[in-house]
Structure 1
Amino acid sequence: MKERRNERKERKNVRNHWKEGFSKVKENPASLPSGKSSLSKRVDPETSKYFLEISSLLEGNVNDLEERSVLCGNALEETRGKELQIASDKILSHVLEILLQSCSVDQLCSFLLSCANDFPSIAIDQSGSHVAETAFKALALYIQYNNADSAIEQVLRKICQVVMGNTVDVMCSSYGSHVMRSLLCLLKGVPLDFLENFHVTKSATVLAERLKSSSRKSDGEHLAQMQQSFPDLLKFLVRGMLSNASEHMETLRVHNFGTLVLQTVLKLLEGDDEELLHIIPILLGCNARDVTWEGEILSIVSSQTVLGLIKDPAFSHLMEVILEVAPDSLYSEIFTKVFRGSLFDLSCHQCSNFVVQALASSTRHQGQMSLLWEELGPKFKELLKLRKSGVVACLLAGCLRLNTLEKECCQALANAVCLESGSTSCIIPRIFFLENYFFEEKSNWNWPLGERLSTLGCLMLQIIFRLPREHTQQYTSSLTSMESIHVLETAKDAGGSRVIEAFLSSDASVKQKQKIVSKLKGHFGELAMHQSGCFTVEKCFSAVNVPLKEVICSDLLSLQNELSKTKHGPHLLRKCDVARYSNKPDQWRSAQASKETTKKEFLDLFSFETKSKNVNYKAAAPSGVKSPQGPKKKRKGDIMDSLIKDVEKSMAKVSGLGQKRHRSEDKDNKGASDSLEYSSDSTKKKRKERNNDGLSNSCRKRKVA
């Protein structure tokens, strides 16, 4: 209760801080532009009638592309001198968008040049902003399939020059902020399909990147097939923006909409160390004329000032991006001079704890992770009590990624959830219910049936089961000692099912895996009817011996008709070869035994070490969160299955026996292989995302981790 009162008090202080800031702006309106469009003229009735008639014609029978283009060109000519009024009209702006989508590139460039001087006013208007973004998308679509000519570059340069003179107005507008980001992305050459990622950063995507055990993939690497860009114009615009907004930078970096533009600038320039070494110090408080990289940038910046800013809701988002994109030398200086000694205090705050998560997920080497561990390792229990389990999860993922302090992390988490005299069998259940356990009477705590498992608790356990088994013995013992009803509850939960899958994919012994699978006897059919449970059943089938495989097939056979009607059921039925089990059970047993024998011989022959870190630990992000799709890599199990199939074919050819059987199996395996990509994509859970005009990024309500 005391912690909750402190959190409410902290939120109140933040609100008061913002009220004071806005009251100062009211007293001195010139200190920060309002970001609102001031339009005094309205469209005359004759012009309005004309464009409504054009709209009717476009929606009618004008299907010929050439005729449509001529019609749009003539209509755009009528907008000369009236672009601002028409674009800001709630009805006519829709007509103007249709015209810009249907006209030729020459007509589009002519329109943009004509309205360039009024472009900032159009950008900050509710309707006009949509017109501006439609124009940019039409340009991007043309550039995507054609080479940009000098006319397009001339138009973009003119718009950049005008926008630079009104930087603060546009950045401080909820509508202008969107337009500015679209312009920056157009100059960078960001494909249309990827454009939305720079407007709204989805929390699931961010969490997936932070909990990956491999090195972080930058936005630049995701844009492998980038279309033609204008790098000189991009740098010209960014430098001009920072120069013209220098007097207001202190306000812009904590402004709800201004900080979104600054985040986009940093993401687009990731990898350009020269530009980042110029921009990041300015965002942290350096004067532009004092920025010279000689290894001591932050000697000009007050670390206490930066620490105070990190607790601001808007700046904390900006700081997360700074840490992700900063060159190694600058990251090290920020880590040492700003964060060192204050990590636990920042981890306890409702906003800055996300910055600490970004810091942990962006560590460059083991030494930095050791410094993080010194301050946060002994504080796992306190962090979990304060509902800051996201910090603990990112620290675990960082240790896994850098192959350091893995044993210490596992032990610290176990100690945090176990009473001093408690048994290790309680570790897994208490991590499953982190919030429930720490806020109830611990001595009488029992498994709360029917409640959803902790998302972050499940993610932490997925990370732990990717570690070497010598570090996770107490976790394995805790999982295998769970009662059958609790194992079933876990398998039914979306997050819990992935923990079981992670355990079955780990390097734990076959005996331990069979022990956990045997506790699900009689419920495999029930689990298979659910999308998440379907993949758990598939993992169970792959991990156990033939007798347990037969138990699984028997359960699935009783619901074969129902499963065949689901989206995921047919793949599972093929994977387990239920049809053959139903018609020829002896042949099914023989085929499964043959696969097991071949697999064992393969492992013995080639000494395939499942404990090898290089294979087992470079897994994808935990499957409980949605991760951006990069180049597809085969998992260890997929590689093994493929090699085993090759060995089976070779053995069948050499022996000359069982050829018919192997051809049949190859056909079934091909079906399973064809469905592999579908299976992988289906594991990603659908999530509802809010898109409140950019507010979901910097203005989202910080959830207590």
Structure 2
Amino acid sequence: MGEEHELDKQHKKKKGMKGKTKKGSVGFDRDYSSKAATGARSNGSFKGRKNVQHDNSLASTSHIRKQVDPETAQYFSEIANIFESTGVDLEERSVICGNALEETRGKEFELATDYIISHTLQALLEGCDVDHLCGFLRSCAKDFPSIAMDRSGSHVAETAIKSLATHLQDQEVHHVIEEALTMICKVIAADPVNMMCDCYGSHVLRSLLCLCKGVELEKFEYYHGVSKSLSKAERLNSKVLKGDHASNFLPGFPNVLKLLVSEMLKCVMKYNKTLQVDQYGSSVLQTVLKLLASDDEELLYAIPILLGCNEKNISEGNFIEATRVRELLNFLKETSFSHLMEVILEAAPDALYDEMFTKIFRNSLFELSSHHCGNFVVQALISHAKNKDQMELLWEELGPNVEQLFKLGRSGVITALIAASERLQIHEEKSCQFLAAAVHSADESPKWIVPRLLFLDSYFTYGDKSNWSWPSVGKMHTMGSLILQIVFRFRSEYIEPYIKSIISMEPSHLLEAAKNRGGSHVIESFLSSGASEKQKLKLAKKLKGHLGELALHPSGYFAVDKLFTLSDLSLKEAITQELMAVRSELSKTKHGPYLLRKLDMDGFVARPDHWRSKQASKESTYKEFHAMFGSGGTKSAKKGGFLADTSKHKSHPSNLKEVRKEIHKSLSSSVPFLSMSGRKRKSEKAKPKSNKDTQMGGDDKNSNREKKRSDKKKHKGGSDNVGTAKKRHRDDNFHEAPQKKLKP
């Protein structure tokens, strides 16, 4: 670590260090490292790293970078010029790369850390065969940590690892790759802390760990949500880490991985306090945990070590010592350790999770929830709650403080708590009661519950809350919209105040909400909720006359889509007629063609009667499907019904997806699902017609048949309102639509 500052000084003297990467060079974004290096560390990890640097037990061989001699520099400059020309085929390029790498022997450190030559070296490592690639790594193994911790050298090391990953599927070269990796990992294992705490070296180390597992770092982060792109919605939708996407791993090197991880954990025992609060060290440890996901035996050993527990106590099955609890609680308020603890909670086996819940978090939940870092740990804890007892403790400590947490800006904790209640089907009524009490008093009308949740920040920062009204200028709150989406999943008897509130909203407010990304999802959730048909009709009437405007909006069209899906035949026709006025503009939008196909606008314009019979046939098919596969508690259709009842529904059988596909396939044709299609084909064979006549004849028959059925029903006093089918699952739309679930 000592020589790193000297190398940085040398780099600063170089000209053009801030220039762009050459075209064709490979490696992660060079701006990434500089950003990481200058990133704010409010948790004091620089101080911790300084302690590591000055610890005598971590003294390493000093590297003084020599200047590359002019002859060698000229040679690699000529190689770079050859690569930039267009007359080199792949076979010739491979030979050139192999020969050039032979010239690097003994000079790998100087060449890899040279800003200009490092680009050429990257191109060589990309274009060479696996033997020359492994030969380069074996030759520079003793210098690999120093190369990896250099600003330019880190890109060379990263390129070498990525190139190795392209050969993982080739079993014949596995032993060659494993030999090179073993040499490198043994050097790193002798002193991993410096590399773990380095802004460049930590990234290379994470890539190396992933390679040993059998996956590239970028793919691993994408599949497992390690990157910052992991959204709040994914966590609230209960995205579980364990065993996720394990099939994406290629044959790796488990022995090498075990060697490196075991040595890293030994160093963690010695330098735990430093690594826990170091930004880069924490990132490496998070990757280790995710690579060990589903391996409970390894996790039961690794996690207590990361928490600073005594190895002797771990072997005796006592994972967390009481003396460590207060120190851990303080560490949870540090940025880097809070990130690490989130991953620990995701990966922890059930027994260890339960012990952490009881020993560390119990009686400290509100304290942590109030902290700007600790609240994210509490969200992770809630999102992975396992049973009723844990939910009891969570509600006991956090339930009475819902309003206070909203005032502190910790709405994410409340969102996670309500989502966990819905997921485990525990305390759903309590969730609704505590939430409603936080945004309106008992003597107030419930009409403002939904608007205040949509504008959480505006409401809780308003002086006289009793006089708060819908803001003319303001941004709808992401967490507030997510909370409402979850609430509308609960049983109808629990959410009556929320139903009354949303149907009491002014038409202009509903229109504004429908045009907002989060607000449109709230309206969708209400339309799919257990509210009565009459209540849903009230909301639909307020949006009538504005459906064309909404359909043109990139967020508003989702509400129109959901409204059409759940409507009866008469309202489907009204929606289609209203959208005809904006048909031309709608077809030019990104989502317009999908919506026009969904409504079958061409069919409606060409043959309205056939369009009606087709829509009726679809609804009849849905009824038949729910009669066979739907929940047992469905209600019979009511006369004049508006929307299919979706209340009190349960999940369908495991083969539901296959059944949906079959239904959608059959509905896309002119032959109704479950109809006697065999008879029709037989009659067609007996009396052949032209394609046009056959199609027209079939359509007319279907149309006449539906008219006769309708007349019979009317004569008997029945109803042809297909929207009053039996209760339907909230997600059973049976069409290939871009579904939006719990998205901010």
TM-score bracket, shorter-length normalisation = 0.7 to 0.9
Per-residue deviation, 1:481 = 1.3
Provide the C-alpha distance between the structure 2 equivalents of 1:328 and 1:285, rounded to a whole number of angstroms: 19
Provide the C-alpha distance between the structure 1 equivalents of 2:249 and 2:143, rounded to a whole number of angstroms: 30
For structure 1, which segment, 411-420 or 558-567, has the greater mean C-alpha deviation from structure 2 after superposition?
558-567
Partner of 1:615: 651
Q: Deviations over 1:548-586 (max 9, x none)?
A: 222321222112122212221111001001112223333
Per-residue deviation, 1:210 = 2.1
1:288-687 counterparts in 2 under 5 A?
A: 288-294=311-317, 296-299=318-321, 301-440=323-462, 441-600=464-623, 603=626, 608=631, 609=634, 610-611=646-647, 613-615=649-651, 634=657, 648-651=672-675, 653=677, 659-660=698-699, 679-680=738-739
- Name the amino acid aligned to 2:44: W
Provide the C-alpha distance between the structure 2 equivalents of 1:649 and 1:635, rounded to a whole number of angstroms: 14
> Is 1:233 equivalent to 2:256 in the alignment?
yes
Partner of 1:701: none
Provide the C-alpha distance between the structure 2 equivalents of 1:536 and 1:617, rounded to a whole number of angstroms: 28
- Name the amino acid aligned to 2:478: T
Q: Cα distance 1:280–1:442, how it changes in 2: closer, same or farther (>3 A)?
A: same
**Residue 163 of structure 1 is aligned with which of 184, 188, 211?**
188
Q: Cα distance 1:227–1:293, how it changes in 2: closer, same or farther (>3 A)?
A: farther
1:242-257 counterparts in 2 under 5 A?
A: 242-257=265-280
**Residue 43 of structure 1 is aligned with which of 56, 68, 83?**
68
Unaligned runs of 5+ in 1: 1-13, 619-631, 665-672, 688-705
Do 1:143 and 1:227's aligned partners in 2 also have CA atoms closer than 8 Å?
Answer: yes
Q: Cα distance 1:59–1:662, how it changes in 2: closer, same or farther (>3 A)?
A: farther
Per-residue deviation, 1:59 = 2.0
Do 1:141 and 1:192's aligned partners in 2 also have CA atoms closer than 8 Å?
Answer: no
Partner of 2:123: 98
Provide the C-alpha distance between the structure 1 equivalents of 2:127 and 2:157, rounded to a whole number of angstroms: 15
Partner of 2:247: 224
Per-residue deviation, 1:674 = 14
Provide the C-alpha distance between the structure 2 equivalents of 1:35 and 1:146, rounded to a whole number of angstroms: 36
Per-residue deviation, 1:478 = 1.0
Do 1:531 and 1:568's aligned partners in 2 also have CA atoms closer than 8 Å?
Answer: yes
Q: Deviations over 1:367-426 (max 9, x none)?
A: 111111111111111111111000000011111111111111111101111123111111
Provide the C-alpha distance between the structure 1 equivalents of 2:630 and 2:180, rounded to a whole number of angstroms: 64
For structure 1, which segment, 119-128 or 652-661, has the greater mean C-alpha deviation from structure 2 after superposition?
652-661
- Name the amino acid aligned to 1:426: W
Provide the C-alpha distance between the structure 2 equivalents of 1:633 and 1:530, rounded to a whole number of angstroms: 32
Q: Cα distance 1:162–1:601, how it changes in 2: closer, same or farther (>3 A)?
A: closer
> Is 1:270 equivalent to 2:293 in the alignment?
yes
Per-residue deviation, 1:499 = 1.1
Q: Deviations over 1:661-696 (max 9, x none)?
A: 6999xxxxxxxx999557349x998x9xxxxxxxxx
> Is 1:128 equivalent to 2:164 in the alignment?
no
**Residue 118 of structure 1 is aligned with which of 143, 150, 160?**
143
Q: Cα distance 1:85–1:18, how it changes in 2: closer, same or farther (>3 A)?
A: same
For structure 1, which segment, 647-656 or 471-480, has the greater mean C-alpha deviation from structure 2 after superposition?
647-656
Provide the C-alpha distance between the structure 1 equivalents of 2:344 and 2:579, rounded to a whole number of angstroms: 51
Provide the C-alpha distance between the structure 2 equivalents of 1:64 and 1:17, rounded to a whole number of angstroms: 52
**Residue 18 of structure 1 is aligned with which of 44, 53, 67?**
44
Provide the C-alpha distance between the structure 2 equivalents of 1:253 and 1:522, rounded to a whole number of angstroms: 58
Q: Cα distance 1:460–1:549, how it changes in 2: closer, same or farther (>3 A)?
A: same
> Is 1:138 equivalent to 2:163 in the alignment?
yes
- Name the amino acid aligned to 1:317: H
Question: 3-state DSSP class of the match of 1:650?
Answer: coil
Provide the C-alpha distance between the structure 2 equivalents of 1:259 and 1:37, rounded to a whole number of angstroms: 26
Partner of 1:628: none
Partner of 2:219: 194
Do 2:309 and 2:321's aligned partners in 1 also have CA atoms closer than 8 Å?
Answer: no
Query: Relative contact order (C-alpha < 8 Å, sep 6+): which is higher?
Result: 1
Per-residue deviation, 1:324 = 0.9
Per-residue deviation, 1:40 = 2.8
Provide the C-alpha distance between the structure 2 equivalents of 1:450 and 1:37, rounded to a whole number of angstroms: 61
Question: 3-state DSSP class of the match of 1:421?
Answer: coil
Provide the C-alpha distance between the structure 1 equivalents of 2:242 and 2:162, rounded to a whole number of angstroms: 20
- Name the amino acid aligned to 1:281: P
Q: What TM-score does the superposition give when structure 1 sets the normalisation length?
A: 0.85
Aligned residues: 647
Provide the C-alpha distance between the structure 1 equivalents of 2:294 and 2:628, rounded to a whole number of angstroms: 45
Per-residue deviation, 1:182 = 0.4
Provide the C-alpha distance between the structure 1 equivalents of 2:236 and 2:653, rounded to a whole number of angstroms: 13
Question: 3-state DSSP class of the match of 1:363?
Answer: coil
Partner of 1:61: 86
Per-residue deviation, 1:30 = 2.9
Partner of 2:722: none
Q: Cα distance 1:89–1:676, how it changes in 2: closer, same or farther (>3 A)?
A: farther
Provide the C-alpha distance between the structure 2 equivalents of 1:675 and 1:367, rounded to a whole number of angstroms: 38
Provide the C-alpha distance between the structure 2 equivalents of 1:111 and 1:265, rounded to a whole number of angstroms: 26
Partner of 1:621: none
Do 2:530 and 2:648's aligned partners in 1 also have CA atoms closer than 8 Å?
Answer: no
For structure 1, which segment, 255-264 or 551-560, has the greater mean C-alpha deviation from structure 2 after superposition?
551-560
Partner of 2:26: none
Provide the C-alpha distance between the structure 2 equivalents of 1:513 and 1:200, rounded to a whole number of angstroms: 37
Per-residue deviation, 1:445 = 0.5
Do 1:313 and 1:351's aligned partners in 2 also have CA atoms closer than 8 Å?
Answer: yes
Do 2:242 and 2:347's aligned partners in 1 also have CA atoms closer than 8 Å?
Answer: no
Per-residue deviation, 1:198 = 8.7
Do 1:316 and 1:355's aligned partners in 2 also have CA atoms closer than 8 Å?
Answer: yes
Per-residue deviation, 1:259 = 0.5
Per-residue deviation, 1:516 = 1.5
Q: Cα distance 1:245–1:407, how it changes in 2: closer, same or farther (>3 A)?
A: closer
Do 2:43 and 2:336's aligned partners in 1 also have CA atoms closer than 8 Å?
Answer: no
Q: RMSD in angstroms over aligned alpha carbons? A: 3.4
Q: Deviations over 1:87-121 (max 9, x none)?
A: 11111111111110110000100000000000000
Partner of 2:105: 80
Question: 3-state DSSP class of the match of 1:244?
Answer: helix
Q: Cα distance 1:409–1:684, how it changes in 2: closer, same or farther (>3 A)?
A: closer
For structure 1, which segment, 551-560 or 596-605, has the greater mean C-alpha deviation from structure 2 after superposition?
596-605
Per-residue deviation, 1:271 = 1.2
